[in-house]
Chain A
Amino acid sequence: MKVLNRRLLFITIALFSISLFWLACETDLAIQATDTLIDGEKYPLPTPYNFVVPNFFPQPKFPKDNPLTVQGVQLGRHLFYDPILSKEGQMNCAGCHAPNIAFSDVTATSIGVEGIAGTRNSMPLFNLAWTPQFLWDGSAVTLEEQILNPVHDPIEMHLNWKVAAEKLKAEPKYVVMFGKAFGANTPIDSTSTAKAIAQFLRTMVSASSKFDKALNAQETGVQLSDKELNGFDIFDKFPRGEFGHCQHCHKRPLFSEVNDYFRNNGLDAWETKEDLNDLGLGGHTGLDSDMGKFKAASLRNIELTGPYMHDGRFQTLEEVIDFYMFEVQESPTLDRIMKTEFLNSGEPLLIQKNAKEDLIAFLKTLTDWDFVNDTSFHSPF
């Protein structure tokens, strides 16, 4: 009996220890499971990528099934700049997301491999580690899902994913790189390709603009000019009739929204959804209350990312501010703040002399040249 009790005690303690060990290791399983033998050669396990969260930024949300690794990021960078993922090898992701303009496109709606223009403006790529939904209408809920679309879309890169995978498997360089990033037993396919590109994109952090440096003036010595500071006041404050009301939809530090993400900002007058050229969020939710709503995009690097709005209708920041001052249109889903403060306030939005000029001066302080010029985000070829 005594022996039996001891055994029971031993088993209890062993089970307890195993469960503790299992809990501690759970988050690293994706990396631990990697097979490192590639073509008979042994490679080390992928190295966790050291992602640094900038001051004042929230904690990013990384998917558990796609942790950042040095090898995954490197593979993603190659894939992003390699035209191998387009129909006849004539276009890469950077074709619509150029690094020198914060990974955006100079055209209102980007033109794909078939020479056909899409219907929406190409969104700039940065701070995606904090983005909860993707595309102007939020139809992609993960970055990996978003990446799947442009490759096979006939008006973008127009390449069947099966063909894309075969092309990648035929490249010895990619066989090794995929193996190093995900293990030799992970197939080279749309899933692993999207995961690698997503890892690369998540490392693209823009948090070193003049504005960011001015927030840390003691260390950087950078200060905003009087004009820029006045522009910041206009941006950030909102007593009626005097200031811009910008920060309701473009909140610091990301200068976008984390939730309440989609809004109808009054670009067009319409009464029923049949009047709309683009249903926006309502196009995939089907809800009347979502019709004509689009993502409130980040204003970081806004100086570089025109043309503006989901359809690229405005060429300059002056045009955008003129729209908000004078041209907001009524419609059933118009954002309530737009309606009460912009449309029905009975007062002009910006009455200060030089308000527009100063606001633009402030917006230009959000340009992050350190990010734009960071060669680790540029082509490896």
Chain B
Amino acid sequence: MRKLFFAFVAFLFLAAISCKDKDNTATLELKINPTFGNKDVTLYEPILDENGQKVLLIDKLYFYISDLKLNEVGAAEEILLIDLEDVALNKGITAIKSGNYNSITLGLGVNEKLNHTDPASYENSHPLGSDHTDKQWTWETGYIFYKIEGKFSTQNDGKLDGDFLFHMGRDELFRTITINKTVNLVKDGTTEVVLNLDFEKLFCSDEGIDLKVESTSQAAPSQAELNEKFINRLVESIE
């Protein structure tokens, strides 16, 4: 009986020390919030301008996020997938060392190290796994870092009669961005960090993408100029 008791105590001890790595860690929940200026945007609901005219509608929006860091402190080497069409994936969750930070750095897309991996080498449900083949082109081209799709008004008459589609990927279009933001992560706690993506800046500002003539790109090299412009505007539109 004594041996059994010691075996049980040893089991509890092992179970306890297996959790030791989690000391000083906190959970970070990263969300992407689509906005139009100061207004929040909901997928599938038309966005109205100041005159009440329909100008845009977003119906697809997801991002792969790599290499997340806070003040250059790295999170676990994992890929986050934030897909606003999927309730279960509407935030990226990762563990990171607790502390007070004032900047967040992240890669928009799948970093080169992981971009050409085989989806079949992951669990099906993993962000890079086979349940998400709609987010991959081919092994050679890699994953589609993000998709932004929707409708717009071609004549500025309130009718959403045009379609836009931006699917960005390929190693050369991977970008790392740093955003100044105060983030306080308490040990064992969960902190939500929200990044706003302003579609007014992206599509309706003077420097924005002109959807009437630049409504689609799938990151093809033949559209290099538009791809570059789109990514630069996107980076400026996230804060």
Q: Which residues of A contact B (CB under 8 A)?
A: 6, 9-10, 12-13, 16, 56-59, 61, 236, 238-242, 247, 251-253, 257-260, 336-337, 339-341
Contact = CB atoms under 8 A, between A and B. Distances in A.
Nearest to B8: A13
Contacts of B139: 252
B134 A258 contact: yes
A225 to B, nearest CB: 20
Nearest to B123: A59
B221 interface: yes
The 4 closest A-B pairs by CB, nearest first: A58-B130, A239-B220, A340-B216, A260-B134
Given A239-B222, A252-B139, 11 more contacts: A6-B1, A9-B5, A10-B1, A56-B118, A58-B119, A58-B131, A59-B123, A241-B222, A259-B132, A259-B134, A340-B163
Interface in B5-19: 5, 8
A202 to B, nearest CB: 16
Nearest to B11: A16
A151 to B, nearest CB: 31
A259 B124 CA distance: 12
B105 interface: no
Given A57-B120, A340-B163, A258 B133 contact: yes
Interface string B126-146: 000111111011110000000
Contacts of B131: 58, 258-259
B222 A258 contact: no
B192 to A, nearest CB: 27
A258 B5 CA distance: 51
B119 to A, nearest CB: 7
A147 B119 CA distance: 30
Contacts of B138: 236, 247, 252
Contacts, number: 69
Contacts of A238: 137, 218, 220
Contacts of B1: 6, 9-10
B165 interface: yes
Nearest to A339: B163
A13 B4 contact: yes
Contacts of A253: 120
A248 to B, nearest CB: 8
B223 interface: yes
A200 B133 CA distance: 27
A190 B5 CA distance: 53
A336 B134 contact: no
B94 interface: no
Contacts of A259: 131-134
**Chain B: interface residue count, which band?**
20 to 34
Given A58-B119, A58-B124, A240-B222, A336 B132 contact: no
B29 interface: no
B77 to A, nearest CB: 22
B103 interface: no
Nearest to A245: B218
Contacts of A16: 8
A61 B124 contact: yes
Contacts of A260: 134
A348 to B, nearest CB: 14
Contacts of B134: 251, 257-260
B4 A257 contact: no
Nearest to B130: A58
A336 B4 CA distance: 65
A197 B74 CA distance: 51
B191 interface: no
A342 to B, nearest CB: 11
Interface in B143-189: 149, 163, 165
A378 B204 CA distance: 61
Contact of A240 (B8, B120, B223): B223
A12 B216 contact: no
B50 to A, nearest CB: 28
A139 B129 CA distance: 25
Contact of B221 (A10, A12, A239): A239
A253 B131 CA distance: 13
Nearest to A345: B216
Contact of A340 (B118, B123, B165): B165
A56 B120 contact: yes
B170 to A, nearest CB: 12
Contacts of A9: 1, 4-5, 8
A166 B200 CA distance: 67
Q: Which of B4, B123, B134, B165 has the most CB of A within 10 A?
A: B134
A324 to B, nearest CB: 17
Interface string B60-83: 000000000000000000000000
A235 B181 CA distance: 45
Nearest to A132: B131
Contacts of B218: 238, 341
Contacts of B120: 56-59, 253
8 contacts: A9-B4, A10-B1, A56-B120, A59-B120, A239-B223, A251-B133, A259-B132, A337-B165
Nearest to B220: A239
A225 B163 CA distance: 39
B35 interface: no
Nearest to A242: B222
Interface in B103-122: 118-120
A143 B221 CA distance: 42
A240 B130 contact: no
Contacts of B190: none
